[in-house]
């Protein structure tokens, strides 16, 4: 090697400097269903979300 040290970019530092880190509680992504309630219901009935029928999921869709 030539003994010259190359610096690399650290994208995490760049993001925190210019954009800051998002707050998931304040800036929650839009969602067309109540995910927390759906997960709680699936656990209560002993199924995974994928195993729930459309009719069961329909109760949690936000209109």
pLDDT the model gives residue 17: 62
Q: Name the pTM for this structure.
A: 0.53
pLDDT the model gives residue 37: 92
* Residue 38 CB-density burial (10 A; 0-12 exposed, 13-18 middle, 19+ buried): middle
Q: For the CA atoms of 56, 59, 60, 63, what is the dihedral angle to 10 degrees?
A: 140
pLDDT the model gives residue 8: 73
pLDDT in tens, the chain (63 residues): 567 777 776 776 666 666 667 777 777 677 888 889 999 999 999 999 999 999 999 999 987
pLDDT the model gives residue 30: 78
Q: Which two tokens stand for residue 26?
A: 């304040």
Q: Which residues pair with 33 in a beta bridge?
A: 61
DSSP output for 7-39: P---HHHHHHHHT----TTTSPPP-SB-HHHHH
């Amino acid at each position: 090697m030539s003994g010259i040290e190359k610096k690399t970019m650290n994208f995490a530092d760049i993001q925190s400097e210019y954009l800051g880190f998002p707050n998931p509680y304040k800036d929650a992504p839009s969602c067309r269903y109540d995910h927390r309630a759906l997960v709680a219901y699936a656990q209560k009935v002993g199924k995974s979300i994928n195993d729930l029928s459309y009719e069961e999921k329909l109760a949690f869709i936000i209109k």
